[in-house]
Amino acid sequence: MKLIVGLGNIGQEYEFTRHNIGFIAVDNILKNLTFSEINKSQFKGKLFKSGNYLFLKPSTYMNLSGESVVAVKNFYKIDNDDIIVIHDDLDLKLGALKFKKGGGAGGHNGLKSIDNHIGNDYHRIRIGIGRPENKCDILGFVLGKFRDEEMEKLEKTLNNIEKSIFDWNDKTKSKYSLKGS
């Protein structure tokens, strides 16, 4: 079983914000899959299953994401090596992708929370959101909504994430079901 976690904040005011790119990425993947939703309050998030993949959107707000991740990890007995966390990164240009395993949280409170609950030896997909022109307004920028032209630029990035996840491990590559298959 593989666990794909998209980080973000719940609530309409956060939809399509830069900080919610993890949620946006998971939604983009799910639109091409046949999946079922798993409703268990103990998971503290929205959990979807397609084949051998679980997709999690924590509903704990970003700073407490680890509570949701550890609940799903423990329930399904998932190794950290089978977890990918998708999140925003200010230090990467808009649309840039960086894949890594382990490392520090880099000031990202969602990652800090996950690290505190399960350690830091899981996989990450960092999605560049760029930096604001006014470097003093980091919070407003991160919690600001993507402009239409930014979302258009991110479309290719989001599709590359989907492909990368299913190519991630050859032995599980064929164990998901696409809509219409």
Cβ contact 157:33 at 8 Å: no
- Which is nearest to 114 in space by CA: 100, 103, 130, 128? 103
Instruction: Please list the active-site residues.
Output: 19
Q: Tokens at residue 21, please?
A: 């790119």
User: Measured over all CA atoms, what is the biggest interatomic distance in the chain, rounded to whole angstroms?
Assistant: 49
Cβ contact 141:88 at 8 Å: no
Look up residue 146 and give its DSSP letter.
P
Q: Give, in order, the Cα–Cα distances in Å from 8 to each of 12, 35, 58, 144, 171.
A: 12, 21, 7, 13, 29
Long-range contacts of range 77-80, CB-CB < 8 Å, 24 or more positions apart?
78/1, 78/2, 78/3, 78/54, 80/118, 80/119, 80/121, 80/122
Query: Residue 77, by phi and psi: left (phi above 0), alpha (psi -120 to 50) or beta?
Result: left
